[in-house]
A and B are shown apart, each in its own frame.
Chain A
Amino acid sequence: NAGVTQTPKFRILKIGQSMTLQCTQDMNHNYMYWYRQDPGMGLKLIYYSVGAGITDKGEVPNGYNVSRSTTEDFPLRLELAAPSQTSVYFCASRSRVSLGTDTQYFGPGTRLTVL
Chain B
Amino acid sequence: AQKVTQAQTEISVVEKEDVTLDCVYETRDTTYYLFWYKQPPSGELVFLIRRNSFDEQNEISGRYSWNFQKSTSSFNFTITASQVVDSAVYFCALSGSAGNMLTFGGGTRLMVKP
Contacts and interface: CB of A to CB of B under 8 A. Distances in A.
Interface of A: 31, 33, 35, 40-45, 48, 50, 56, 58-59, 88, 90, 92, 94, 97, 100-106, 108-109, 111
A94 B95 CA distance: 12
Given A106-B45, A108-B43, A109-B44, A42 B105 contact: yes
Classify the secondary structure of A's interface with B: strand
Given A42-B91, A42-B106, A105 B100 contact: no
A101 B99 contact: yes
Given A42-B104, A43-B91, A50-B100, A100 B52 contact: yes
Interface of B: 4, 31, 33, 35, 37, 43-45, 47, 50, 52, 91, 93, 95, 97, 99-102, 104-107
B23 to A, nearest CB: 11
A37 to B, nearest CB: 9
Which one of A50, A90, A94, A104 has the greatest number of beta carbons of chain B within 10 Å?
A104
Given A42-B107, A45-B101, A101 B43 contact: no
Contacts of A104: 35, 47, 102
A53 B4 CA distance: 31
Contacts of A35: 102
Nearest to A90: B45
A97 B36 CA distance: 20
A104 B102 CA distance: 9
